[in-house]
Chain A
Amino acid sequence: MALHSGFFTFIAGFTSGIFFRSFFDLGVAFALFTIFLSVALYLYARFFTHKGLAFVGLVAIGIFAVGIGMLRFDIADLNKGDPILDTLIKQHVEVNGVVIEEPDERESNTRLVIAELTVKRGEQWEEVKSKMILSAPQYPEYDYGDRIHITGILKKPKNFTSDTGREFNYEEFLGKDGIYYELAYPETELLGKGEGNIVKGTLLSLKHSFLERVSRVIPEPHASLLGGLVVGAKQALGQELLDDFRTAGIIHIVVLSGYNITIVAEAIMRFFSFLPRIAGMWLGGVSIVFFAIMTGAGATVVRASIMALLVILARATGRTHDITIALFLAGFLMLLHNPKILIFDPSFQLSFLATVGLIYGAPLIERYFHLVPTRFQLREFATATVATQIFVLPLLLYMTGEFSLVALPVNLLVLVFIPLTMLFGFLTGAVGFVSTLLSVPFAAVAYLLLTYELQVVELFSSLPFASISLPSFPLWLLALSYILISVIVFRFYKDKRRAER
């Protein structure tokens, strides 16, 4: 019991430390002071009092963890940009670098993240430490691992206000991945290929040719949607269609890689529920790992996949308590790896919340769904959908201000068919490597399913009042919502435990 509460106190403290430090920077000394304070408190309790030692010990651990959390953030913040680049802001610069992320193809441009940079100063090339992002024209096309030469105007990323009037902290959003500069109006030129991580490069080129096979037999926008579902392709669906997905409240299956993995993994398990339970779990687990690998295993996807695996484990074992420990440990390790994701990475937040929703929320609301038929796992789909929706809703409202009134029916109608779509989509691409002609029958089925899904989205998003836009959803309301949800969940499990005894 003592070890147990120590564990949770430490994680709570660590997270609070990072949370605080994400907004206020009081310097490294403050973190060190906090740690010192906790040690002093512990020693005082140890040697000068005898009563309530356990409690004081816990407080000491909590304060200690707060300090460690702040310190971890301080370390992450050490290399914020590069002094040489800082002197070149707003100037025309010449840079050489390697494309270190999969190029993000939008409808009319491609976003590239480059690292291993050298910048030209006078006649000299100097090494600089940072990553840069640029919106390059669509052609020439670059691949992961290409070394390119770029000229453009060096800029610092700027925060911007979204259509619904929310400010988006773009600077920190990029900063969490170590990107502190932007190159505007870039002109690019290829210098060499095949740099970067070989495994990642190979996976991404496999993914690339998979998508090419698919697009040979399936037209747009179906091919792009399929690419997003099967291998997490960041292809352009086009602004209008993306808006439709947003209005219909199902945008998460196409853009927020993270949240979608949890939901899709859950759907896959449901789909395989006719198999023995353990087989379904394995298939679900393998699909997640496979998906993560096929996407190129970026940090975001890896984090989300780990959480999705936890959901599966929770289902398989039914041991909520052990899963809780695993979930918090996973969250802690992720924050230890990159503390900035706590506040500045929506995809981490959403996938964590979706996971919590599935593990704790779904059993709680299940009893309200006894009227939903159990055929085709409809009841489970409904519970899972509603549970995740409830858990991510406050955050989504805070971030986007958009509330989709049709999200529930749309999610139900679409999610039921997602596993089958993924299966046939995967077969289309895989068989396409052997023969384009042979892949056509699979493509036909996938096309039919994708057409259905797109039709559902278009139909519901075209309804009047499909989505309402909240002018403001303040921070305190966000906090209140989650406190409320936590209290309800806690009370439910407390009652349940008491009933079990």
Chain B
Amino acid sequence: MQNAKKHGHLLFLALFFVVNIFIWSAVFRGERGGVLTVAFLDIGQGDAIFIEAPNGAQVLLDGGPNKKVLREIASLMPFYDRSLDVVIASHPDKDHVGGLPAILARYEVGMAIDPGIEHDTVVYQEFERLVKEKNIERIRARRGQIIWLDRDVYLEILFPDRDPTGWDTNDASIVARLVYGDISFMLTGDSPQKMEQYLVGLDGDELSSDVLKLGHHGSKTSTSELFLGFVSPAYAVVSAGKDNQYGHPHKEVLELVERFGIPILATYETGNIIMRTDGTNISID
């Protein structure tokens, strides 16, 4: 009996100790110190970009080809955080939306954004079905929309600028620019060269960004010299799988980027590429 009492005390103390650690770690997590995190996830051949604003607002832009995104996203979030504020499907191709149904099934999602193109791939239909079933607010991305994530952090939709119904899926790809203070990220999905040139034609000066995720996993169908010049990034990111069947990234694109003297970061080389910025500087983990 005496023994049980003694152990009871110890157990009680241990419990409080654990709870204490938990609370403090949560507090420290909550304290992001004005830092925006942008993570290009290593999900194989595809795109998945996780964004966390200083206030904790979270966006997942694309979900990679399969469920691997679940593991990668979990490694960047505390385990009790089971919600995402915005999920974006840049376009309905499987290497961008394959993991999204699994995300919608497991996380509370506040808003779903897509270009509003019809597509008959089963994965995309599953995505649409879940958005409907879970009563998630669905928004069609259109040029001019601005999604405020935090006081100084916003996502600006540059494309599509009209209803893309009936288009090729890559053509309909959402192009978005993430801005925090002086720092910006150009995220172009699989948008091809003709759309890049169209954007340059609309307003070339607004494209300038510090980081460019190379369109279409570094395929030569994207990243025209003109577009690269107008964006003139400090870093270029390739999101692709190792030894993928398409040969992405194509060497023409890599050569072009190197000619501009821009350092290239690739998910298939380094795994998750995690960038942090306070609005003036960028650091890479």
Contact = CB atoms under 8 A, between A and B. Distances in A.
Interface string B1-34: 0000000000000000000001000000000000
B122 interface: yes
A499 B201 CA distance: 96
Interface residues of B, number: 21
B77 interface: yes
Contact of B82 (A139, A217, A222): A217
Interface string B90-134: 000000001001000110000000000000001101100000000
A108 interface: yes
Nearest to A451: B79
A440 B26 CA distance: 15
A138 B123 contact: yes
B68 A107 contact: yes
A447 B81 CA distance: 13
Given A138-B98, A138-B123, A219 B68 contact: no
In this complex, which of B80, B123, B126 has the most chain A Cβ atoms within 10 angstroms of its Cβ?
B80
A139 B122 contact: yes
Interface in B146-160: none
A451 to B, nearest CB: 8
B67 interface: yes
A219 B101 contact: no
B106 A216 contact: yes
B79 A108 contact: no
A222 B79 CA distance: 10
A216 B79 CA distance: 11
Interface in B18-67: 22, 65-67
B82 A221 contact: no
Nearest to B125: A139
Contacts of B126: 139-140
Contacts of B74: 219-222
B101 A139 contact: yes
Interface residues of A, number: 22
A219 B79 contact: yes
B76 to A, nearest CB: 10
A215 B42 CA distance: 21
B71 interface: yes
B68 A238 contact: yes
Given A139-B122, A216-B82, A444 B66 contact: no
A327 interface: no
B264 interface: no
B262 interface: no
B200 interface: no
Interface string B132-149: 000000000000000000
A108 B68 CA distance: 9
Contact of A138 (B22, B66, B73, B77): B66
Nearest to A219: B74
A330 B112 CA distance: 56
Interface in A192-229: 212, 215-222
A138 B63 CA distance: 14
Nearest to A220: B70
Interface of A: 107-108, 137-140, 212, 215-222, 236, 238, 241, 440, 443-444, 447
18 contacts: A107-B67, A108-B65, A108-B66, A108-B98, A138-B66, A138-B67, A139-B123, A139-B126, A212-B105, A219-B70, A219-B74, A219-B77, A219-B82, A221-B70, A222-B74, A238-B68, A444-B22, A444-B79
Given A138-B123, A221-B74, A440-B80, 16 more contacts: A107-B67, A108-B66, A108-B98, A138-B67, A139-B123, A219-B73, A219-B79, A219-B106, A220-B67, A220-B70, A221-B71, A222-B79, A236-B67, A238-B71, A444-B22, A447-B79
